[in-house]
């Protein structure tokens, strides 16, 4: 019988770490158990996908002998399990030295192996380098995000099977994310390596739910990926929420959304005021005084791409690309929209936000930067 244990009074990350290290794989004596709920496949399909990944048991639970293949084939996986509650301290390892013969440690796969598996739903564990984070929604402290990841199998091996060079991993708000992982994701310029344990691949996409464990991995030279990161080229079959590389010629500018604004040259805040009786600006955030503010711009352009015919591609450009583009086309009178038309830009690293194929193909992209610091 399978059960899910809820450990009471385990609230800090340190307690979670200690329980994981001390109890995982051990034969334990459970005391003062309380049945909270009876769970079935229909109501808890994600939990049962975890159970299915552990079935059939490698040994007979009673005799600890290896199960004959014919016998294990005849035994169906459980159709129900119990959710149990237990107080802290009432789960005691019988022996810390001997690992249970029923224990199945996670088997790490490469992303290429996971993408090639055509099963409708299965659990998978892998290591991957995070190259971009995208917040999907944020509500009352719950955040749903996409992590775009890659590994050496997608970056260094020939892309002959049509797999993407990067993979989007969706983190559900119910997924527990430790502070070390959060801090690493807040400093993505370092491109952290994470271990995803018991994620779910379903209908070609990877999700992290309640039972998924995400850990920050130490630096490992054998797991490094080449720089710059290789991305797929934008094509007619490119899907929303994917990373791709695009090159094209500017054929139009979205003038309704183009604007510029002054920012602090020190902290980049836009809360500036002019100084009385003096030239220059004062930053109301950091207090910096400057003769000239740093000008930031927003610019979206339409591209004509050689690989895409009868397709509208709009890209929101980053500051570096905007300044480079405008400086190269600047005339004596200043900047002019007409001067940027016909300019070739790229290859640009982009995130595809929108793909509309209702009448003609229309794609909305945002330029990204993967520069390491």
- State the pTM of this model: 0.86
Q: What is the structure's pLDDT at 236?
A: 87
Mean pLDDT in residue range 153-163: 79
Q: What is the structure's pLDDT at 160?
A: 60
Q: What is the structure's pLDDT at 332?
A: 45
**How much is the mean pLDDT over the chain?**
86
Neighbours of 311 (CB within 10 A): 18
175 neighbors 211 (Cβ within 8 angstroms): no
Mean pLDDT in residue range 156-160: 76
* Confidence tier at 168 by pLDDT (50, 70, 90): very high
Residues 42-77 have pLDDT tens digits of 989 889 988 988 888 877 766 655 555 445 456 788
Q: Which long-range contacts (CB under 8 A, 24 or more apart) does 364-368 make?
A: 364/314, 364/316, 365/234, 365/244, 365/246, 365/313, 365/314, 365/315, 365/316, 366/315, 366/316, 367/315, 367/316, 367/317, 367/318, 367/321, 368/132, 368/243, 368/318
Neighbours of 246 (CB within 10 A): 25
Structural domains in the chain?
Answer: 3-93 (no CATH), 108-223 (2.40.50.140), 232-258+299-367 (2.40.50)
Determine the Cα–Cα distance for residues 1 and 221; give it in Å rounded to an integer. 42
Determine the Cα–Cα distance for residues 39 and 104; give it in Å rounded to an integer. 22
| Cα-Cα end-to-end distance for the chain | 50
Residues 27-37 have pLDDT tens digits of 888 888 899 99
Closest CA to 130 of 184, 62, 57, 197: 184
* Confidence tier at 119 by pLDDT (50, 70, 90): confident
**Six token digits for residue 66:** 């290896």
Question: How does strand 294-298 pair with strand 205-208?
Answer: unpaired
Q: What is the structure's pLDDT at 10?
A: 64
Q: Is 171 exposed, middle or buried (0-12, 13-18, 19+ CB in 10 A)?
A: buried
């Amino acid at each position: 019988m399978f059960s899910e244990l809820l450990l009471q009074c385990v609230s800090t990350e340190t307690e979670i770490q200690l329980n994981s290290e001390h109890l995982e794989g051990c034969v334990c004596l459970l005391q003062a158990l309380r049945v909270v709920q009876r769970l079935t496949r229909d109501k808890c399909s994600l939990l049962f996908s975890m159970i299915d990944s552990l079935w059939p048991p490698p040994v007979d639970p009673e005799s600890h002998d290896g199960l004959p293949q014919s016998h294990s084939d005849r035994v169906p996986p459980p159709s129900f399990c119990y959710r149990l509650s237990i107080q802290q301290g009432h789960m005691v390892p019988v022996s810390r030295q001997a690992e249970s013969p029923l224990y199945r440690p996670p088997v790490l796969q490469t992303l290429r192996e996971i993408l090639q598996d055509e099963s409708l739903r299965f659990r998978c564990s892998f290591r991957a380098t995070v190259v971009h984070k995208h917040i999907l929604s944020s509500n009352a402290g719950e955040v749903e995000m996409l992590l775009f990841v890659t590994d050496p199998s997608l970056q260094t091996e020939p892309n002959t099977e049509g797999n993407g060079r990067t993979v989007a991993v969706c983190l559900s708000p119910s997924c527990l994310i430790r502070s070390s992982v959060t801090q690493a994701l807040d400093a993505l310029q370092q491109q952290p390596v994470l271990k995803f344990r018991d994620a779910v691949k379903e209908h070609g996409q990877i999700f992290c739910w309640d039972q998924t464990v995400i850990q920050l991995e130490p630096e490992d030279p054998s797991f490094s990926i080449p720089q710059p990161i290789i991305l797929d080229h934008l094509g007619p079959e490119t899907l929303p929420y994917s990373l791709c590389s695009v090159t094209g010629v500017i054929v139009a500018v979205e003038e309704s959304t183009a604007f510029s604004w002054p920012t602090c040259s020190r902290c980049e805040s836009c809360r500036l005021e002019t100084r009385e009786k003096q030239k220059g600006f004062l930053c109301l955030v950091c207090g910096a005084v400057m003769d000239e503010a740093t000008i930031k711009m927003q610019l979206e352009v339409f591209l004509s791409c050689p690989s895409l015919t009868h397709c509208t591609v709009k890209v929101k450009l980053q500051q570096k690309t905007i300044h480079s583009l405008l400086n190269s086309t600047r005339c004596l009178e200043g900047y002019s929209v007409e001067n940027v038309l016909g300019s070739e830009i790229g290859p640009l690293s982009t995130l595809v936000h929108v793909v509309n194929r209702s009448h003609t193909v229309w794609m909305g992209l945002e330029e990204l930067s993967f520069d390491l610091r």
